């Protein structure tokens, strides 16, 4: 039995102006009729799973509760962070929560904001991870890379373990471009998908070894929770002192006992508008059109209209995102830089 943990505390700033501080991308319907969070949860149906635990910022508690209710999950398990401290603490809080009463469940940690087109292949990889989880190893799911992306973790595969896993000989989070290019051309590396699986106690032991400071604050924070209806509130004052770090830097780069299970499931982390264009249905001219859109003599654009009409003539490789209070115009190659726009604005809403 797996205990899914959905990490849903990010801000998704590269998807501005749709993704905002108060309404980040994981709560939007970016691909299909359901939100990213809902799709993440429904993708588990058919696996031997407990009810998911969602960990998110307290500002989003009603959004999360409502979106769970819409898909039939009525009694919630939602942990609320007063402030985001990145994924190492978020997963630590959830692990401490899950080990209360002497339990030590097999956790499946899933970001709430990924597209995975092939549910069957996803579930096969998850099943392939179980023997490694039960062997007290940290498991990540690896994707065959097709570009020298610098926003991902890279995993060098070591010794083969049976039919469906490799020992990790090196884990490098967000390398520079030259290093990413070398990894890509070597053919030895997989991307880290950002999904993980391990026994709760295995993660806590590794965290204690490599980041005892984070371990200590999270342990204290979870002892001081406040149950508020369906929500578990983390103590504000204690958690505010927690160092920020991601699981990738805090644990995965340092551990010597981790396994990568390959996953070939049409994965896309939809970090930017350009990745949404890649996975969207397109017309014969290569335009992805969402909402009321008219495109004439225009090719390979991502055109999104939330209210009113978006119309283009003679435009190619562009991204136009129109929402009720802001319009973004950029080209597909610049989509990663939307983050700097949000920083320049100094706010997302
Ligand atoms: N609850 C909670 N609290 N969730 C968080 C927090 C937090 O403080 N910070 C981030 N998250 C959630 C985000 O919502 C997202 O679903 C997930 O954790 C990963 O965070 P990102 O900020 O999107 O990480 P990243 O994309 O830079 O890098 C990670 O994912 C890549 C694949 O998409 C790493 O794991 C990389 O190694 C990996 O390649
Ligand atoms: Mg991400």
- Ligand 1 centroid to 87 CA: how many Å? 6
CA distances for 209 relative to 136, 191, 215, angstroms: 15, 25, 9
Are 260 and 304 in a shared domain? no
Domain match, 95 and 45 both: yes
Note the pLDDT of residue 347. 56
Residues of the chain with pLDDT > 90, as a percent, come to 78
> Would the CB of 82 count as within 6 Å of ligand 1?
no
CA distance 279 to 293: 18
Q: Are 249 and 319 part of one and the same domain?
A: no
Q: Which two tokens stand for residue 309?
A: 């009409």
Distances (CA, A) of 15 to 94, 271, 292: 27, 7, 19
CA of residue 325 relative to chain centroid, distance: 27
Mean pLDDT of 158-178: 95
Cα of 272 vs centre of ligand 2, distance in Å, is 9
Report pLDDT for 14.
86
Q: Tell me the pLDDT tens digit for each residue of 217-263.
A: 999 999 877 777 778 999 899 999 999 999 999 999 999 999 999 99
Question: For a substitution probing ligand 1, which of 86, 87, 222 has the most ligand atoms within 8 Å of its CB?
Answer: 87
Q: Give the ligand at the shortest distance from the Cα of 173.
A: 1
Query: What are 181's two structure tokens?
Result: 């290019």
> How many Å apart are CA 214 and CA 88, to the nearest integer?
8
Distance between CA 182 and CA 175 in Å, rounded? 10
211 CA → ligand 2 middle, Å: 22
Tell me how far the alpha carbon of residue 209 is from its chain's centroid: 25
Which atom belonging to ligand 1 lies closest to the Cα atom of 153?
A: 37
In terms of C-beta density within 10 A (0-12 exposed, 13-18 middle, 19 or more buried), how is residue 284 classed?
exposed
Cα 218 to Cα 202: distance, rounded to the nearest angstrom: 15
Q: Which ligand is nearest to the CA of 10?
A: 1
Q: Is 317 helix (H, G, I), strand (E, B) or coil?
A: coil
d(CA 98, CA 107): 9
User: At which residue do the structure tokens 């007290």 appear?
Assistant: 136
Say whether pLDDT at 147 is over 60.
yes
pLDDT the model gives residue 337: 86
* pLDDT, position 87: 97
- Residue with CA closest to ligand 1 atom 30: 194
Give me the mean pLDDT over the 130-144 stretch: 97
Q: State the chain's mean pLDDT as an integer.
A: 93
Using the mean position of ligand 2's atoms as its centre, give its distance from the Cα of residue 313 in Å.
33
- Rounded to an integer, the average pLDDT of 174-203 is 97
Query: CB of 56 closer than 6 A to ligand 1?
Result: yes
The predicted-structure confidence for 27-83, as pLDDT tens digits, reads as follows 988 888 899 999 999 999 999 999 999 999 999 999 999 999 999 998 779 999 999
* Domain endpoint, select from 268, 293, 318: 268
d(CA 302, CA 283): 11
- Of residues 348 and 188, the one with the higher pLDDT is 188
How far apart are the C-alpha atoms of 348 and 323, rounded to whole Å?
Answer: 13
Q: Which of 76-80, 140-144, 250-254, 311-315 has the lowest mean pLDDT?
A: 76-80
Residue 348: pLDDT band (50, 70, 90) is: very low
Residue 269, pLDDT > 60, answer yes
Domain termination site, one of 250, 268, 286: 268
87-123 pLDDT tens trace: 999 999 999 999 998 999 999 999 998 999 999 999 9
Q: Is the Cβ atom of 330 under 6 angstroms away from ligand 1?
A: no
Dist CA 201 CA 198 (whole Å): 8
Whether 97 and 212 map to the same domain: the answer is yes
Ligand 1 atom 37, closest CA:
153
Q: Distance, CA 240 to ligand 1 centroid (Å)?
A: 19
Q: Is 85 in the pocket of ligand 1 (CB under 6 A)?
A: yes
Residue 37, pLDDT score: 96
Identify the residue whose C-alpha is closest to ligand 1 atom 22. Answer: 10
Whether residues 86 and 66 fall in one domain: yes
Answer positive or negative: Cα dihedral of 132, 134, 135, 140: positive
Dig out the tokens for 31 from the structure.
Answer: 């691909």
Whichever domain contains 144, its CATH number is: 3.90.550.10
Out of 60-64, 109-113, 171-175, 337-341, least confident range = 337-341
Q: Is 320 in the pocket of ligand 1 (CB under 6 A)?
A: no
For residue 154, the enclosing domain spans 2-268
Is residue 298 lining ligand 1, measured as CB closer than 6 Å? no
- Indicate if 315 and 243 belong to the same structural domain: no
- Which residue is it, tokens 């249905």? 281
Residue 115 CA: which ligand is closest? 1
Q: Is 7 in the pocket of ligand 1 (CB under 6 A)?
A: yes
Tokens of 251: 């644990």
Specify burial of residue 300 (Cβ count, 10 A radius: 0-12, 13-18, 19+). Answer: middle
Measuring from atom 28 of ligand 1, which residue has the nearest CA? 152
Number of structural domains (the chain) is 2
- Note whether 116 and 208 are same-domain residues: yes
- Residues with Cβ within 8 Å of 159's Cβ and at least 6 positions away in sequence, in order, are 166, 167, 169
Nearest to 248 by CA among 131, 106, 138: 138
Whether 192 and 320 share a structural domain: no
Q: Whose CA is nearest to atom 7 of ligand 1?
A: 86
- Same domain flag for 254 and 304: no
Residue with tokens 């969402």: 290
As for the ipTM of the complex, it is: 0.99
Query: Average pLDDT of 153-175?
Result: 95
| Residue where one domain finishes, among candidates 268, 302, 326 | 268
295-303's contacts with Cβ under 8 Å and 24+ in sequence apart are 300/332, 301/277, 302/273, 302/274, 302/276, 302/277, 302/332
Please state the rounded mean pLDDT for residues 185-201: 97
State whether 201 and 295 are in the same domain: no
197 and 283 share one domain: no
Regarding the beta carbon of 87 and ligand 1, being less than 6 Å apart is answered: yes
Per cent of the chain over pLDDT 70 is 99
- Nearest ligand 1 atom to alpha carbon 149: 39
Let me know whether 50 and 90 are in one domain: yes
């Amino acid at each position: 039995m797996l205990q899914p943990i959905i990490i849903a505390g990010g801000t998704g700033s590269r998807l501005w102006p749709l993704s905002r501080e108060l309404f980040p991308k994981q709560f939007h319907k970016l691909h299909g009729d359901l939100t990213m969070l809902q799709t993440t949860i429904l993708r588990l149906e058919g696996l031997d799973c407990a009810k998911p635990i969602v960990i998110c910022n307290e500002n989003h508690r009603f959004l999360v509760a409502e979106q769970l209710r819409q898909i039939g999950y009525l009694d919630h398990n939602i942990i609320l962070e007063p402030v985001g401290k990145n994924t190492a603490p978020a997963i630590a809080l959830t692990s401490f929560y899950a080990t209360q009463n002497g339990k030590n469940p097999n956790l499946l940690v899933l970001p709430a904001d990924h597209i995975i087109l092939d549910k069957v292949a996803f579930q096969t990889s998850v099943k392939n991870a179980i023997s490694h989880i039960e062997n007290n190893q940290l498991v990540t799911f690896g994707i065959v890379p097709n570009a020298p992306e610098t926003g991902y973790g890279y995993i060098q595969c070591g010794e083969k373990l049976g039919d469906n896993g490799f020992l990790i000989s090196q884990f490098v989070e967000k390398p520079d471009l030259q290093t990413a290019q070398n990894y890509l051309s070597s053919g030895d590396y997989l991307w880290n998908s950002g999904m993980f699986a391990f026994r709760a106690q295995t993660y806590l032991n590794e965290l204690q070894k490599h980041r005892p400071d984070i371990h200590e604050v999270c342990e204290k924070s979870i002892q001081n929770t406040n149950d508020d209806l369906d929500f578990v509130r983390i103590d504000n004052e204690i958690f505010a002192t927690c160092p920020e770090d991601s699981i990738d830097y805090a644990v995965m780069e340092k551990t010597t006992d981790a396994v990568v299970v390959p996953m070939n499931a049409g994965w896309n982390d939809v970090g930017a508008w350009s990745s949404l264009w890649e996975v969207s249905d397109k017309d014969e001219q290569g335009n992805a059109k969402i909402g009321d859109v008219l495109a004439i003599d225009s090719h390979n654009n991502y055109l999104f209209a939330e209210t009113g009409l978006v119309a283009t003539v003679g435009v190619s490789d562009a991204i136009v995102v129109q929402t009720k209070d802001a319009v973004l115009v950029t080209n597909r190659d610049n989509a990663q830089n939307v983050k700097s726009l949000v920083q320049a604005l100094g706010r997302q809403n």
